[in-house]
Amino acid sequence: MERIKLANILTEQRNSNSRHLEQKTVEEILTIINNDDATLATAIKKEIPKISKAIELIVPKILNQNGRLIYLGAGSSGRMGVLDASEMLPTYGVKDKIIGLIAGGDQALRLPIEGAEDKKEFAIVDLKTINLNQNDVVLVIGASGRTPYCIGALEYAKVIGALPLALCMTNNAEFEKYADITLNVISGPEIVTGSTRMKAGTATKMVLNMISTTIMIKMGKVYDNLMIDVRASNEKLISRCVNIVSELVTTTDEQKIIDALKKADYNCKLAIVMLEKNIDVNQAKDLLLKNNDNLGETLK
C-alpha cells in the first residue's frame, strides 16, 4: 500500500511557533496555543464568499424540496458534525433537517473505530441507511481533505444526484476532485503536530456553527436575534422561553406570558401570536400555518 505523503498536507506539517514544548512553562504553553487559535477567525473570513455560496445552495434544498443537510466525517471531524447536527433540535426545534454521520457509527463518538475512515464503502452504507436522495446535500468534513470515507460519500452523492460539498483545513485537497464546492479553511500546522482535534477541530466547529445558524435564520427559526423555535426541555429553557416572549410582546404581565406559554406547550411563536393578536392557541396555529410558520409575516 502506498504511504500517505503527510508532508503535503498543511495540518500535518510542523508548527515553528511551538518547538520544544516540553521545555515551556504551563503559562507559556497556554499562550502559544491561544496565539495560534487567534488566527482562525481570519482564516475563516477568507472563505466567507464560498461558505455563502454553499449556504445559498443548501437553503432552497431544505425549504423548497424537503431536502436535508448531511454532515459526514471521521474522527474529530465527524464528531464536530454530529455535535452540530444534534444541537438543532433543542435550539431550533429541528429534528431531521441536519443529520450527522461519523465513520464507525455512534460508537465512534466515544471510542476510535480502527480503519473505519479508510473504507469508502462504509459511507455508502451509512448514506443508504438514511435513504439519501437527490434533494439532499452531503457536506463531508475532513481536516486533511483526503479521507476515503468522505470521498466515498461524495462519489455516492453524485451518483444519487445529491449536492456534494466539502470542508477541509488544507489547500489542494483531494475533496476538490469530487465536491461541487470545497471550503478550504487554512487553519495551519497544529501546535502538537498532526493533532487536528485542536485548531482544525476548532475551525470546523466555527464554520459548522456559521452554516447551521444561517440556515436556521433563513428557515424562519430566528426572529430579530432570538431563537423563537427553542424547545423547552428543561428549567433553563423554560426560563429562556419566558424571556424570549417577554422581549417580543407588548404586555409586561409575566403571569399572562407564562399562561400563554403553558397553553401553547411552550411554543414561543404560538404564545407570541396569541398575546399580540389576542386569540386562542388554535387560532394562532391557523394563522401561523397560513403564513408558512413565519412569525414576521404573521404579526403584520
Q: Is the pLDDT of residue 265 over 90?
A: yes
In a domain, 152, yes or no: yes
Residues 102 and 157 in one domain: yes
Domain range for 87 is 7-218
Are 258 and 238 in contact, with CB atoms under 8 Å apart?
no
Residue whose cell numbers read 475533496:
175
229 domain-assigned: no
Kindly state the DSSP code that residue 272 receives in the 8-state scheme: H
Examine the residue annotation and report whether 87 is marked as an active-site residue of this protein.
yes
Which amino acid is it at 247?
E
Helix (H, G, I), strand (E, B) or coil at 137: strand
How far from 91 is each of 200, 237, 253, 276, CA to CA, in Å? 25, 9, 26, 24
Q: Which of 47, 117, 174, 190 is catalytic?
A: 117
In a domain, 228, yes or no: no
The pLDDT tens digits for 194-243 are: 899 999 999 999 999 999 999 999 999 999 999 999 988 899 999 999 99
The average confidence (pLDDT) of the chain is: 93
Residues 200 and 269 in one domain: no
Q: Choose, from 87, 155, 247, 276, the residue flagged as catalytic.
A: 87
CATH number at residue 123: 3.40.50.10490
Residues 212 and 254 placed together within one structural domain of the fold: no
Residue 15's pLDDT is 86
Mean pLDDT of 10-15: 86
Tell me the Cα Rg of the chain: 22
